[in-house]
Protein backbone atom coordinates (compact mmCIF):
# COMPACT_ATOMS: atom_id res chain seq x y z
CA UNK A 1 0.00 0.00 0.00
CA UNK A 2 2.81 2.37 0.79
CA UNK A 3 5.55 3.84 -1.39
CA UNK A 4 8.11 5.25 1.03
CA UNK A 5 10.57 6.20 -1.69
CA UNK A 6 13.99 7.44 -0.70
CA UNK A 7 13.97 8.24 3.01
CA UNK A 8 17.03 10.47 3.01
CA UNK A 9 17.05 13.56 5.16
CA UNK A 10 16.07 16.45 2.91
CA UNK A 11 17.17 20.06 3.32
CA UNK A 12 14.26 22.47 3.55
CA UNK A 13 13.57 26.17 3.38
CA UNK A 14 10.58 27.01 5.61
CA UNK A 15 8.29 29.86 4.62
CA UNK A 16 5.88 31.33 7.18
CA UNK A 17 3.43 33.59 5.36
CA UNK A 18 1.82 35.88 7.94
CA UNK A 19 -1.42 37.70 7.15
CA UNK A 20 -2.39 40.13 9.96
CA UNK A 21 -5.77 39.39 11.53
CA UNK A 22 -6.19 36.08 9.70
CA UNK A 23 -5.11 34.00 12.70
CA UNK A 24 -4.79 34.25 16.48
CA UNK A 25 -1.24 32.89 16.33
CA UNK A 26 1.66 35.30 16.06
CA UNK A 27 4.19 34.93 13.26
CA UNK A 28 6.94 33.61 15.56
CA UNK A 29 4.60 31.01 17.07
CA UNK A 30 3.46 29.90 13.61
CA UNK A 31 7.09 29.69 12.44
CA UNK A 32 8.05 27.66 15.51
CA UNK A 33 5.27 25.13 14.90
CA UNK A 34 6.15 24.85 11.19
CA UNK A 35 9.70 23.98 12.21
CA UNK A 36 8.48 21.34 14.68
CA UNK A 37 6.31 19.81 11.96
CA UNK A 38 9.23 19.78 9.52
CA UNK A 39 11.57 18.16 12.05
CA UNK A 40 8.91 15.52 12.76
CA UNK A 41 9.05 14.63 9.07
CA UNK A 42 12.80 13.97 9.14
CA UNK A 43 13.72 17.25 7.46
CA UNK A 44 16.89 19.24 8.01
CA UNK A 45 15.96 22.93 8.24
CA UNK A 46 18.43 24.93 6.12
CA UNK A 47 16.72 28.32 6.36
CA UNK A 48 13.57 29.96 7.75
CA UNK A 49 11.87 33.01 6.31
CA UNK A 50 8.80 35.03 7.35
CA UNK A 51 6.72 36.83 4.71
CA UNK A 52 4.14 39.52 5.45
CA UNK A 53 1.11 39.89 3.23
CA UNK A 54 -2.10 41.89 3.68
CA UNK A 55 -3.84 39.21 1.61
CA UNK A 56 -2.76 36.21 -0.51
CA UNK A 57 -2.15 36.63 -4.24
CA UNK A 58 -3.82 34.30 -6.71
CA UNK A 59 -0.57 33.42 -8.49
CA UNK A 60 1.96 32.80 -5.72
CA UNK A 61 0.13 33.35 -2.40
CA UNK A 62 3.08 35.66 -1.63
CA UNK A 63 4.36 38.38 -3.99
CA UNK A 64 6.47 37.48 -7.01
CA UNK A 65 9.44 39.44 -5.65
CA UNK A 66 9.39 37.47 -2.39
CA UNK A 67 9.03 34.23 -4.38
CA UNK A 68 12.15 35.15 -6.38
CA UNK A 69 13.98 35.87 -3.11
CA UNK A 70 13.02 32.40 -1.85
CA UNK A 71 14.22 30.93 -5.16
CA UNK A 72 17.66 32.46 -4.61
CA UNK A 73 17.68 31.27 -1.01
CA UNK A 74 16.74 27.71 -1.98
CA UNK A 75 19.49 27.68 -4.64
CA UNK A 76 22.17 29.01 -2.30
CA UNK A 77 21.24 26.44 0.36
CA UNK A 78 20.95 23.59 -2.17
CA UNK A 79 17.51 22.94 -0.68
CA UNK A 80 15.52 19.85 -1.69
CA UNK A 81 12.15 21.27 -0.69
CA UNK A 82 10.40 24.54 0.17
CA UNK A 83 7.62 24.21 2.77
CA UNK A 84 4.86 26.79 3.26
CA UNK A 85 2.90 27.08 6.52
CA UNK A 86 -0.29 27.85 4.57
CA UNK A 87 -2.35 25.66 2.26
CA UNK A 88 -1.71 26.47 -1.39
CA UNK A 89 -4.03 26.11 -4.36
CA UNK A 90 -2.82 23.86 -7.18
CA UNK A 91 -2.16 26.99 -9.28
CA UNK A 92 -0.12 28.68 -6.54
CA UNK A 93 1.83 25.50 -5.90
CA UNK A 94 2.60 24.96 -9.59
CA UNK A 95 3.65 28.59 -10.13
CA UNK A 96 5.89 28.59 -7.05
CA UNK A 97 7.55 25.34 -8.00
CA UNK A 98 8.26 26.54 -11.53
CA UNK A 99 9.67 29.85 -10.29
CA UNK A 100 11.70 28.46 -7.38
CA UNK A 101 12.71 25.38 -9.41
CA UNK A 102 12.50 23.29 -6.23
CA UNK A 103 9.85 20.94 -4.93
CA UNK A 104 7.29 23.05 -3.02
CA UNK A 105 4.72 21.68 -0.59
CA UNK A 106 2.15 23.18 1.74
CA UNK A 107 1.15 22.63 5.36
CA UNK A 108 -1.43 19.91 4.66
CA UNK A 109 1.06 17.87 2.62
CA UNK A 110 3.57 18.17 5.45
CA UNK A 111 1.02 16.94 8.01
CA UNK A 112 0.00 14.08 5.72
CA UNK A 113 3.65 13.09 5.38
CA UNK A 114 3.99 12.88 9.16
CA UNK A 115 0.76 10.86 9.35
CA UNK A 116 2.09 8.44 6.74
CA UNK A 117 5.24 7.95 8.83
CA UNK A 118 3.36 7.38 12.09
CA UNK A 119 0.51 5.08 10.98
CA UNK A 120 1.22 1.46 11.92
CA UNK A 121 -2.16 -0.26 12.14
CA UNK A 122 -4.28 -1.17 9.12
CA UNK A 123 -6.91 1.32 10.27
CA UNK A 124 -4.36 4.10 10.60
CA UNK A 125 -2.96 3.43 7.14
CA UNK A 126 -6.41 3.39 5.57
CA UNK A 127 -7.30 6.70 7.19
CA UNK A 128 -4.06 8.32 6.06
CA UNK A 129 -4.41 7.07 2.48
CA UNK A 130 -7.99 8.33 2.35
CA UNK A 131 -6.91 11.79 3.54
CA UNK A 132 -4.07 11.86 1.00
CA UNK A 133 -6.23 10.86 -1.93
CA UNK A 134 -8.93 13.38 -1.03
CA UNK A 135 -6.22 16.06 -0.90
CA UNK A 136 -4.73 14.98 -4.24
CA UNK A 137 -7.94 14.45 -6.19
CA UNK A 138 -8.70 18.11 -7.04
CA UNK A 139 -5.03 18.56 -8.04
CA UNK A 140 -4.95 15.76 -10.60
CA UNK A 141 -5.51 17.95 -13.63
CA UNK A 142 -3.48 17.24 -16.75
CA UNK A 143 0.15 16.71 -15.83
CA UNK A 144 -0.40 18.06 -12.36
CA UNK A 145 2.49 19.17 -10.21
CA UNK A 146 2.00 16.27 -7.82
CA UNK A 147 2.39 13.68 -10.56
CA UNK A 148 5.47 15.35 -12.03
CA UNK A 149 7.62 14.78 -8.96
CA UNK A 150 6.84 11.31 -7.69
CA UNK A 151 9.81 9.30 -6.58
CA UNK A 152 10.36 9.82 -2.90
CA UNK A 153 10.94 12.35 -0.18
CA UNK A 154 8.72 14.59 1.87
CA UNK A 155 5.30 15.28 0.37
CA UNK A 156 5.32 12.16 -1.80
CA UNK A 157 5.05 9.45 0.84
CA UNK A 158 1.85 7.42 0.85
CA UNK A 159 -0.18 6.20 -2.10
CA UNK A 160 2.17 4.59 -4.60
CA UNK A 161 2.98 5.91 -8.06
CA UNK A 162 0.60 3.54 -9.81
CA UNK A 163 -2.30 4.75 -7.66
CA UNK A 164 -1.61 8.36 -8.55
CA UNK A 165 -1.23 7.87 -12.29
CA UNK A 166 -4.69 6.47 -12.79
CA UNK A 167 -7.53 8.72 -13.86
CA UNK A 168 -9.82 10.61 -11.52
CA UNK A 169 -12.58 8.01 -11.85
CA UNK A 170 -10.39 5.22 -10.51
CA UNK A 171 -9.15 7.42 -7.66
CA UNK A 172 -12.75 8.17 -6.75
CA UNK A 173 -13.44 4.43 -6.76
CA UNK A 174 -10.46 3.89 -4.46
CA UNK A 175 -11.78 6.59 -2.09
CA UNK A 176 -15.19 4.88 -2.08
CA UNK A 177 -13.58 1.52 -1.19
CA UNK A 178 -11.50 3.08 1.61
CA UNK A 179 -14.59 4.76 3.09
CA UNK A 180 -16.40 1.41 3.02
CA UNK A 181 -13.50 -0.26 4.86
CA UNK A 182 -13.58 2.51 7.46
CA UNK A 183 -17.34 2.06 7.90
CA UNK A 184 -16.74 -1.64 8.58
CA UNK A 185 -14.05 -0.74 11.12
CA UNK A 186 -16.42 1.79 12.68
CA UNK A 187 -19.07 -0.92 13.08
CA UNK A 188 -16.52 -3.14 14.83
CA UNK A 189 -15.64 -0.28 17.15
CA UNK A 190 -19.33 0.23 17.85
CA UNK A 191 -19.65 -3.46 18.79
CA UNK A 192 -16.73 -3.06 21.19
CA UNK A 193 -18.39 -0.02 22.76
CA UNK A 194 -21.64 -1.92 23.23
CA UNK A 195 -19.67 -4.72 24.88
CA UNK A 196 -18.17 -2.16 27.28
CA UNK A 197 -21.61 -0.77 28.09
CA UNK A 198 -22.90 -4.26 28.89
CA UNK A 199 -19.99 -4.63 31.29
CA UNK A 200 -20.75 -1.25 32.88
CA UNK A 201 -17.50 0.42 31.92
CA UNK A 202 -17.33 4.22 31.83
CA UNK A 203 -15.03 5.65 29.16
CA UNK A 204 -12.58 8.53 29.43
CA UNK A 205 -11.11 9.82 26.15
CA UNK A 206 -7.72 11.49 26.53
CA UNK A 207 -7.53 14.44 24.15
CA UNK A 208 -5.08 17.26 23.66
CA UNK A 209 -2.74 19.10 21.39
CA UNK A 210 -0.14 16.96 19.70
CA UNK A 211 2.90 16.30 21.91
CA UNK A 212 1.10 17.48 25.07
CA UNK A 213 1.98 14.24 26.89
CA UNK A 214 -1.15 12.09 26.42
CA UNK A 215 0.72 8.83 25.87
CA UNK A 216 3.00 9.53 28.84
CA UNK A 217 -0.08 10.05 31.01
CA UNK A 218 -1.86 6.89 29.88
CA UNK A 219 1.36 4.95 30.57
CA UNK A 220 1.55 6.50 34.05
CA UNK A 221 -2.09 5.77 34.84
CA UNK A 222 -2.32 2.22 33.55
CA UNK A 223 1.23 0.90 33.64
CA UNK A 224 1.10 0.45 29.87
CA UNK A 225 4.28 0.55 27.85
CA UNK A 226 3.19 2.61 24.88
CA UNK A 227 6.24 3.92 23.05
CA UNK A 228 6.83 7.61 23.70
CA UNK A 229 8.29 9.76 20.94
CA UNK A 230 8.96 13.44 21.53
CA UNK A 231 7.63 14.51 18.15
CA UNK A 232 4.33 15.65 16.72
CA UNK A 233 1.63 13.04 16.04
CA UNK A 234 3.56 10.19 17.71
CA UNK A 235 0.19 8.50 18.43
CA UNK A 236 -1.89 7.81 15.33
CA UNK A 237 -3.15 4.38 16.35
CA UNK A 238 -5.15 4.96 19.55
CA UNK A 239 -4.74 2.66 22.55
CA UNK A 240 -7.48 1.71 25.03
CA UNK A 241 -6.54 0.68 28.58
CA UNK A 242 -8.65 -0.55 31.51
CA UNK A 243 -8.24 1.12 34.91
CA UNK A 244 -9.89 1.20 38.35
CA UNK A 245 -10.38 4.60 39.98
CA UNK A 246 -9.86 5.11 43.74
CA UNK A 247 -13.64 4.85 44.29
CA UNK A 248 -13.51 1.36 42.67
CA UNK A 249 -15.20 2.52 39.48
CA UNK A 250 -13.79 0.75 36.46
CA UNK A 251 -13.09 2.91 33.43
CA UNK A 252 -11.50 2.64 30.03
CA UNK A 253 -8.94 5.25 29.03
CA UNK A 254 -8.72 5.85 25.27
CA UNK A 255 -5.71 7.66 23.86
CA UNK A 256 -6.42 9.64 20.66
CA UNK A 257 -4.53 11.26 17.81
CA UNK A 258 -3.14 14.65 18.79
CA UNK A 259 -5.06 17.71 17.66
CA UNK A 260 -3.45 20.61 15.84
CA UNK A 261 -4.00 24.29 15.14
CA UNK A 262 -6.00 24.59 11.90
CA UNK A 263 -6.17 20.82 11.54
CA UNK A 264 -7.36 20.35 7.93
CA UNK A 265 -11.05 19.47 7.95
CA UNK A 266 -10.70 16.49 5.62
CA UNK A 267 -8.19 15.00 8.08
CA UNK A 268 -10.86 15.17 10.77
CA UNK A 269 -13.26 13.47 8.34
CA UNK A 270 -10.74 10.76 7.45
CA UNK A 271 -10.02 10.04 11.12
CA UNK A 272 -13.66 10.15 12.15
CA UNK A 273 -13.74 6.39 12.88
CA UNK A 274 -10.93 6.83 15.41
CA UNK A 275 -12.33 10.06 16.83
CA UNK A 276 -15.63 8.32 17.58
CA UNK A 277 -13.95 7.33 20.85
CA UNK A 278 -14.09 11.03 21.74
CA UNK A 279 -17.71 11.39 20.64
CA UNK A 280 -18.86 8.35 22.65
CA UNK A 281 -16.83 9.00 25.82
CA UNK A 282 -18.50 9.77 29.15
CA UNK A 283 -15.79 12.26 30.16
CA UNK A 284 -12.93 13.93 28.29
CA UNK A 285 -9.50 14.28 29.89
CA UNK A 286 -7.83 17.25 28.19
CA UNK A 287 -4.05 17.12 28.54
CA UNK A 288 -2.58 20.60 28.16
CA UNK A 289 1.13 21.42 27.97
CA UNK A 290 1.45 23.99 30.76
CA UNK A 291 5.05 24.73 29.77
CA UNK A 292 4.11 25.82 26.25
CA UNK A 293 4.41 29.48 25.29
CA UNK A 294 1.18 29.10 23.27
CA UNK A 295 -0.89 27.26 25.88
CA UNK A 296 -3.99 29.42 25.30
CA UNK A 297 -3.83 29.01 21.53
CA UNK A 298 -3.40 25.23 21.87
CA UNK A 299 -6.34 25.11 24.27
CA UNK A 300 -8.55 26.92 21.75
CA UNK A 301 -7.32 24.69 18.91
CA UNK A 302 -8.44 21.59 20.83
CA UNK A 303 -11.82 23.15 21.61
CA UNK A 304 -12.30 23.94 17.90
CA UNK A 305 -11.76 20.29 16.95
CA UNK A 306 -14.12 19.17 19.73
CA UNK A 307 -16.73 21.58 18.36
CA UNK A 308 -16.25 20.10 14.88
CA UNK A 309 -16.89 16.66 16.37
CA UNK A 310 -19.91 17.83 18.39
CA UNK A 311 -18.14 16.81 21.62
CA UNK A 312 -17.46 20.23 23.15
CA UNK A 313 -20.40 19.97 25.61
CA UNK A 314 -19.08 16.85 27.32
CA UNK A 315 -17.72 16.99 30.90
CA UNK A 316 -14.01 17.90 30.70
CA UNK A 317 -11.21 17.53 33.25
CA UNK A 318 -8.07 19.45 32.28
CA UNK A 319 -4.62 18.10 33.19
CA UNK A 320 -2.08 20.95 33.18
CA UNK A 321 0.83 18.70 32.29
CA UNK A 322 4.62 19.12 32.34
CA UNK A 323 4.68 20.66 35.81
CA UNK A 324 8.30 19.47 35.98
CA UNK A 325 9.20 21.99 33.25
CA UNK A 326 7.46 24.93 34.93
CA UNK A 327 9.59 27.52 36.72
CA UNK A 328 7.00 30.10 37.77
CA UNK A 329 4.30 29.33 40.33
CA UNK A 330 2.54 32.54 39.26
CA UNK A 331 1.73 31.02 35.88
CA UNK A 332 0.24 27.93 37.49
CA UNK A 333 -1.99 30.02 39.75
CA UNK A 334 -3.17 31.95 36.72
CA UNK A 335 -3.80 28.77 34.72
CA UNK A 336 -5.76 27.26 37.63
CA UNK A 337 -8.15 30.23 37.33
CA UNK A 338 -8.25 30.35 33.53
CA UNK A 339 -8.80 26.62 32.93
CA UNK A 340 -11.82 25.28 34.80
CA UNK A 341 -11.81 21.89 36.52
CA UNK A 342 -8.02 21.55 36.17
CA UNK A 343 -5.20 19.84 38.05
CA UNK A 344 -1.49 20.65 37.60
CA UNK A 345 0.42 17.40 37.07
CA UNK A 346 3.60 15.89 35.75
CA UNK A 347 2.80 12.71 33.86
CA UNK A 348 6.53 12.03 33.54
CA UNK A 349 7.28 12.35 37.28
CA UNK A 350 3.88 11.17 38.58
CA UNK A 351 3.20 14.44 40.43
CA UNK A 352 -0.43 15.03 41.54
CA UNK A 353 -1.77 11.99 39.69
CA UNK A 354 -3.91 11.08 42.73
CA UNK A 355 -5.60 14.50 42.64
CA UNK A 356 -6.29 14.06 38.94
CA UNK A 357 -7.91 10.67 39.56
CA UNK A 358 -10.03 12.12 42.37
CA UNK A 359 -11.18 14.87 39.99
CA UNK A 360 -12.09 12.27 37.35
CA UNK A 361 -13.95 10.16 39.92
CA UNK A 362 -15.91 13.24 41.01
CA UNK A 363 -16.79 14.05 37.39
CA UNK A 364 -17.95 10.48 36.82
CA UNK A 365 -19.91 10.42 40.10
CA UNK A 366 -22.98 11.60 38.21
CA UNK A 367 -22.96 8.19 36.59
CA UNK A 368 -23.39 6.52 40.02
CA UNK A 369 -26.35 6.05 42.36
CA UNK A 370 -26.97 4.72 45.87
CA UNK A 371 -29.17 1.62 46.11
CA UNK A 372 -30.85 -0.47 48.81
CA UNK A 373 -31.87 -3.88 47.41
CA UNK A 374 -32.93 -7.37 48.45
CA UNK A 375 -31.25 -9.99 46.29
CA UNK A 376 -32.46 -13.62 46.37
CA UNK A 377 -29.73 -16.00 47.48
CA UNK A 378 -30.15 -17.97 44.28
CA UNK A 379 -28.89 -14.86 42.45
CA UNK A 380 -25.60 -14.47 44.29
CA UNK A 381 -23.93 -13.49 41.02
CA UNK A 382 -25.72 -10.15 41.42
CA UNK A 383 -24.22 -9.72 44.88
CA UNK A 384 -20.82 -10.37 43.33
CA UNK A 385 -21.62 -7.80 40.64
CA UNK A 386 -22.37 -5.12 43.23
CA UNK A 387 -19.16 -5.88 45.14
CA UNK A 388 -17.12 -5.97 41.94
CA UNK A 389 -18.46 -2.79 40.36
CA UNK A 390 -19.52 -0.66 43.33
CA UNK A 391 -18.98 0.22 46.98
CA UNK A 392 -20.98 -1.78 49.55
CA UNK A 393 -21.89 0.06 52.78
CA UNK A 394 -24.03 -2.61 54.45
CA UNK A 395 -24.85 -6.29 53.96
CA UNK A 396 -27.36 -8.43 55.88
CA UNK A 397 -28.62 -11.99 55.33
CA UNK A 398 -32.39 -12.21 55.82
CA UNK A 399 -33.91 -15.68 55.36
CA UNK A 400 -33.52 -16.40 51.63
CA UNK A 401 -32.37 -12.91 50.66
CA UNK A 402 -29.32 -10.65 50.95
CA UNK A 403 -29.92 -7.00 51.80
CA UNK A 404 -27.36 -4.58 50.35
CA UNK A 405 -26.84 -0.86 50.69
CA UNK A 406 -24.31 0.26 48.12
CA UNK A 407 -23.18 2.85 45.61
CA UNK A 408 -23.02 1.53 42.05
CA UNK A 409 -22.76 2.80 38.46
CA UNK A 410 -26.13 3.74 36.95
CA UNK A 411 -25.68 0.94 34.45
CA UNK A 412 -25.44 -1.62 37.29
CA UNK A 413 -28.50 -0.11 38.95
CA UNK A 414 -30.46 -0.44 35.71
CA UNK A 415 -29.42 -4.07 35.37
CA UNK A 416 -30.45 -4.87 38.96
CA UNK A 417 -33.82 -3.18 38.41
CA UNK A 418 -34.37 -5.21 35.27
CA UNK A 419 -33.39 -8.56 36.83
CA UNK A 420 -35.09 -8.01 40.18
Residue range 86-130, pLDDT digits in tens: 999 989 999 999 999 999 999 999 998 888 887 777 887 888 888
Looking at the predicted structure, is the pLDDT value of residue 40 above 80?
A: yes
CA atoms of 127 and 213, how far apart (whole Å): 23
With a pLDDT cut of 70, the percent of the chain lying above it is 85
Residue range 76-86, pLDDT digits in tens: 999 999 999 99
Q: What is the mean pLDDT of residues 20-45?
A: 88
Residue range 119-176, pLDDT digits in tens: 777 887 888 888 888 888 887 754 444 444 444 566 655 555 555 555 678 888 989 9
Would you say 117 and 38 are in contact if contact means Cβ atoms under 8 Å apart? no
CA atoms of 39 and 83, how far apart (whole Å): 12
Task: Return the minimum-mean-pLDDT range out of 161-170, 356-365, 407-416.
Answer: 161-170
Average pLDDT taken over every residue of the chain: 83
pLDDT of residue 118: 77
Residue range 203-244, pLDDT digits in tens: 899 999 988 998 889 888 887 655 444 445 545 555 678 888
> Which of 83-87, 254-258, 328-332, 409-413 ranks highest by mean pLDDT?
83-87
Looking at the predicted structure, is the pLDDT value of residue 65 above 90?
A: yes
In the chain, DSSP finds a helix count (H) and a strand count (E) of 16, 15
Confidence of residue 344 (pLDDT cuts 50, 70, 90): very high
Domains and CATH numbers, the chain: 2-163 (3.40.50.11060), 200-365 (3.40.50.300), 368-419 (no CATH)
Looking at the predicted structure, is the pLDDT value of residue 374 above 70?
A: yes
Q: What is the mean pLDDT of residues 270-295?
A: 86
CA atoms of 361 and 247, how far apart (whole Å): 7
- For every residue of 74-121, DSSP letters joined together read HHHTT-SEEEESS---HHHHHHHHHHHTSEEE-HHHHHHHHHHHH--S
> Which of 232-246, 257-271, 339-353, 374-388 ranks highest by mean pLDDT?
339-353
Q: What is the mean pLDDT of residues 58-68?
A: 95
The DSSP output letter for 326 is: -
Confidence of residue 341 (pLDDT cuts 50, 70, 90): very high
Give, rounded to a whole angstrom, the gap between the first and last alpha carbons of the chain. Answer: 54
Amino acid sequence: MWDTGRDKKEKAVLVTAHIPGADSWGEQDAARELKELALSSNVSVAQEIICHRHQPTAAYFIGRGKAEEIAGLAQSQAADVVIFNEDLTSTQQRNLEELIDTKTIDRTQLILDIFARRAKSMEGKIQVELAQLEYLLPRLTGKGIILSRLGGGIGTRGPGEMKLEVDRRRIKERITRLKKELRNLSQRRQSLREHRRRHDLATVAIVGYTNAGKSTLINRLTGAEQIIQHSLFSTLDPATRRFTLPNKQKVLFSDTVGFLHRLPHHLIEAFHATLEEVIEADVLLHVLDASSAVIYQQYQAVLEVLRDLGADKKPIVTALNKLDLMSESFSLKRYAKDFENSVAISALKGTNIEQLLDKLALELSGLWAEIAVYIPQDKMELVSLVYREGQVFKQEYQQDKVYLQARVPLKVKARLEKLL
